Chain A
Amino acid sequence: AQSVSQHNHHVILSEAASLELGCNYSYGGTVNLFWYVQYPGQHLQLLLKYFSGDPLVKGIKGFEAEFIKSKFSFNLRKPSVQWSDTAEYFCAVNARTGGFKTIFGAGTRLFVKA
């Protein structure tokens, strides 16, 4: 069965620090990969997605993620975080042949100190 693992459940950073959130998945076939973000009091929304092509994907608000197929990873990065990045981040995977089912990771709560 597919699974998604997010290594850090809680991360605390100071503003301007660099961010990297780990995400690994277990599925041997072709996958589509997503990062979603849930800001306090807001809906869960898409941050970025990877389907094919350049493995380095850029999303909104300066976030990017790199797909490394050999490592089954899709880590999220941002060079310099802001207080407004405080949120919960979810990695998600959809097997391309799996149709409508998407598997979500447990989430990482990021708190950025001003």
Chain B
Amino acid sequence: DGGITQSPKYLFRKEGQNVTLSCEQNLNHDAMYWYRQDPGQGLRLIYYSQIVNDFQKGDIAEGYSVSREKKESFPLTVTSAQKNPTAFYLCASTPSGTGAYNEQFFGPGTRLTVL
């Protein structure tokens, strides 16, 4: 089955450590996204990538970094500079073409807790 996988489902880290969240898709989609979901705030865009080796900052990129070396993979690193990293992180993708017309396909999410 085609879809998006995120691992791990739950992640615990000590304060001050960097952590990388995995996102893999086998939908052959060009665009990929990272969102952060906090209660009462909906989904906020962290980074997005339209094609391999290219990515743009979203609305809350500070303290995060990404890479897009392969079409199917878009890992997110939560650095120690992120002041409030405990959250639910969602990865999504959309098919090629004009992004505005495409529904987003979401992964199951990773819940990160920083102790």
Residues on B with C-beta less than 8 A from A51 are: 101
Given A100-B48, A100-B94, A107-B42, A43 and B106 contact (CB-CB distance below 8 Å): yes
Min CB gap A1→B, angstroms:
9
Interface flags, A39-76, vs B, CB<8A=1, else 0: 00001111001010000000000000000000000000
Chain A: residues with Cβ within 8 Å of the partner, total of: 26
A95-B98 Cα distance, complex, nearest whole Å: 11
**B100→A106 contact, CB < 8 A:** no
The total of chain B residues at the interface (CB under 8 A) is 26
- Complex Cα spacing A36 to B37, Å: 14
A46 CA / B108 CA spacing, docked (Å): 14
Closest Cβ–Cβ distance, residue B8 to chain A (whole Å) = 16
Q: Which residues of A contact B (CB under 8 A)?
A: 4, 6, 9, 32, 34, 36, 43-46, 49, 51, 90, 94-102, 104-107
Q: What are 8 pairs between A and B in contact, CB < 8 Å? A: A43-B106, A51-B101, A90-B43, A99-B99, A100-B99, A100-B100, A104-B44, A107-B40
- In addition to A44-B90, A94-B100, A106-B40, 16 A-B residue pairs with Cβ atoms within 8 Å of each other are A32-B100, A34-B103, A43-B106, A43-B107, A44-B92, A46-B103, A90-B42, A94-B99, A95-B100, A100-B94, A101-B99, A102-B45, A102-B104, A105-B42, A107-B40, A107-B42
